Chains A and B, each alone.
Chain A
Amino acid sequence: MMESLMPELIRMVVAAVLVVAFVFLNAMIMGYLERKLSAHIQRRPGLMEVGPHGILQLLIDGLKLIGKQLVIPEKSDHFLFRLAPVLSFAPVVLPFIVIPFSRKLVIRDLDVGLIFILAISSLNVLTILVAGWSSNNKYSLFGAVRSVAQNISYEIPMLLSLLAVVLMTGTFSLQGIVAAQGKIWFFLIQPIAFITYIIAGVAETNRAPFDLPEAESELTAGYHTEYSGMGFSLFMLAEYANMFIVCSIATTLFLGGWRGIPLPFGDYSGIIWFFLKVYGLMVFLVWIRWTYPRTRFDQLMNFCWKYLIPFALVNVLVTAVLVKVL
């Protein structure tokens, strides 16, 4: 029995190591891109000191964060305070299991892949709440409560926009959805769903213009105000990994996944196309963040409940009728 289990075990370990390594690498790339792009948008050079154009700055930052002391507030809930950063890591690492990077490169192509990602991502809110509550700090708690209110509201238009695509393909498997986009990518057929998804995705990742949970002018740093050293860095890693997941769902469902004009790399061209699209979308999100000012909280909620959800609902209805008629 042992022998037949071995390949599966090796596969699991390799996948886990690769995913965690990629989460760290992704945070480094995005940290550098975000700081450099924001600098250029604001007409300043940005990182310049460490390495050419500051390219090694994030490496040094990582070392600094690992070396820093972990300060635990005296009146906080110690166990939950320590647990929260670790918990925040699980919901962003697990979705990598079902993301199809290319025709062959996918850890497991579940037939409920999309539901898997959505279910696991819904745990994210709980960890933010645990972090904010256990800090015993009013800024943290306000940040966490805002984050929860925002996340559960924007989850609805997000689900509805994804539902429109599922109605058209009739499958939850991400490879199946990519396969259905052989002729035309879905953002051309479902522009409303695509735009709704991107807006809801920005809100789900708590980024500007919807970064109310960490609004630094009023809440210091939101739910991770009290965290230092690796506690803080785990939250940062989780945030960037979450951004990657949101963008890769958008790529898979609306932008044709790993499909693209054939490149001269054989089987590897799928992976290259996938990463090009995902990082393109992520740069787009960074661009949005540093271009638009923060919304007010009532504007944020009104926008979701009065505009996004009705539009998404109508879109689902129209899609359902058209799928039945055509």
Chain B
Amino acid sequence: MSFYQNVNEIIFFVFVFLVLFGGIMAVRSRILMHAVLGLAVSLLGVAGLYFHLGSPFLALMQILIYVGAVCIMIVFGIMVGYTPSEVREQGIGVANPFLALTAGVAVFITLLIAISRTVWTPAAAVQGDFSLAYLGETLMYRYCLAFELISVVLLTAIVGAIILARGGRDEEHF
């Protein structure tokens, strides 16, 4: 194995480590801010994997949308969450371990089935045009319906947020 391939493998495993480490940090942390930062590390690792697979556009979109926007949105949860000192005093226990375990195992098995049934093509063997223009065209023609459905999901989220916020602030607590 040549020097270049070695470096290539090391970079791949660094990104995999980032994804796993960030994921564990996101799940294990009691403090919301640490959990969000763990998620950010994990998502950056995923962006790195996209980059490693030769799709810089996807990697940058991953950073722009997930790290730059979604993580920030989650952080706004801090304003309704517990402060670090409160967590230390009370300690937040697991509400229902059995339900959590069942949900986790169910998702894991579903993913396992999906992964084992897919026929994987090695990245080097994938042929075709992956330019920005091609991506844009496929999104607007071939996958137009899926693309529009995503915007419907976003619209639902916005409408939901407005309904939740419609009551406005309490006059007394303003």
A residues sitting closer than 8 Å to B (CB atoms) are 1-2, 5, 75, 77, 80, 110-112, 115-116, 118-120, 122-123, 125-126, 129-130, 133-134, 136, 145, 148, 152, 172
B60: A residues at CB distance < 8 A = 112, 115-116, 119
Interface residues of B in 70-100 (CB under 8 A from A): 71-72, 75-76, 78-79, 84-85
Mask, B47-68, CB within 8 Å of A = 1, is 0000000001100110110011
B33 contacts the other chain (CB 8 A): yes
Contact present for B132 and A122 (CB under 8 Å): no
Which residues does chain B contribute within 8 Å of A133, judged by CB atoms?
A: 33, 78
- Assess the A126–B40 pair: CB atoms within 8 A: yes
The interface residues of chain A lying within 8 Å CB-to-CB of B61 are 115, 119
The answer on a CB contact under 8 Å between A5 and B3 is: yes
With a CB–CB cut-off of 8 A, which chain B residues contact A119? 60-61, 63-64, 68
A77 and B69 contact, Cβ closer than 8 Å, known pairs A112-B60, A130-B37: no
Q: How far is the CA of A112 from the CA of B60 in the complex (A)?
A: 9
Residues of chain A within 8 A (CB-CB) of B64 are 115, 118-119, 122
| Residues of chain B with a CB closer than 8 A to A2's CB | 3
Q: Which of A1, A136, A148 contacts B72 (CB 8 A)?
A: A148
Chain B 102-117 near chain A by CB (<8 Å), digits 1 or 0: 0000000000000000
Name the prevailing secondary structure of the B interface residues: helix
Q: Which residues of B contact A75 (CB under 8 A)?
A: 85
Determine whether the beta carbon of A129 is less than 8 Å from that of B72.
yes
Residue among A110, A119, A172 with the most chain B CB within 10 A?
A: A119
Closest CB of chain B to A324's CB: distance in Å?
A: 14
Chain B residue nearest to A125 in the complex (CB): B72
- Chain A's closest residue to B78 (CB) is A133
A306 to chain B, nearest CB (A): 16
Beta-carbon nearest neighbor of A148 in chain B:
B72
In the complex the two chains form, what is the Cα distance from A120 to B2 in whole Å? Answer: 32
Query: How many of chain B's residues have a CB under 8 angstroms from any CB in A?
Result: 26
Interface residue SS majority, chain A: helix
| Cβ contact within 8 Å between A148 and B56 | no
Further 9 A-B residue pairs, CB within 8 A, beyond A110-B56, A112-B57, A122-B64: A5-B3, A115-B60, A119-B60, A119-B61, A126-B67, A126-B72, A133-B33, A134-B33, A152-B72
A67 to B37, CA, bound (A): 31
Least CB distance from B151 to A in Å reads 15
A2-B72 Cα distance, complex, nearest whole Å: 42
A145-B2 contact given A119-B63, A129-B72, CB 8 Å threshold: no
What are the 5 tightest A-B residue pairs by CB atom distance, in nearest-first order? A122-B68, A1-B3, A119-B64, A119-B60, A119-B63
Of chain A, the residue at the smallest CB distance from B32 is A133
CB of B139, distance to nearest CB on chain A (Å): 15
A139 CB to closest chain B CB (Å) equals 16
User: When the two chains form their complex, are residues A129 and B69 in contact, meaning their CB atoms are under 8 A apart?
Assistant: no
Is there an interface contact between A122 and B67, defined as CB atoms closer than 8 Å?
A: yes
Task: Answer yes or no: B141 CB below 8 A from chain A CBs.
Answer: no
Q: Is B120 an interface residue (CB 8 A)?
A: no
Contact of B63 among A123, A130, A136 (CB under 8 A): A123
Tell me which of B2, B60, B79 has the highest count of chain A C-beta atoms within 10 A of its own C-beta.
B60
Please give, as numbers and ranges, the residues of chain A lying within 8 Å of B56 by CB-CB distance: 110, 112, 116
Asked if B174 is an interface residue, CB under 8 A from chain A, the answer is no
Q: Which of B37, B57, B68, B79 contacts A125 (CB 8 A)?
A: B68
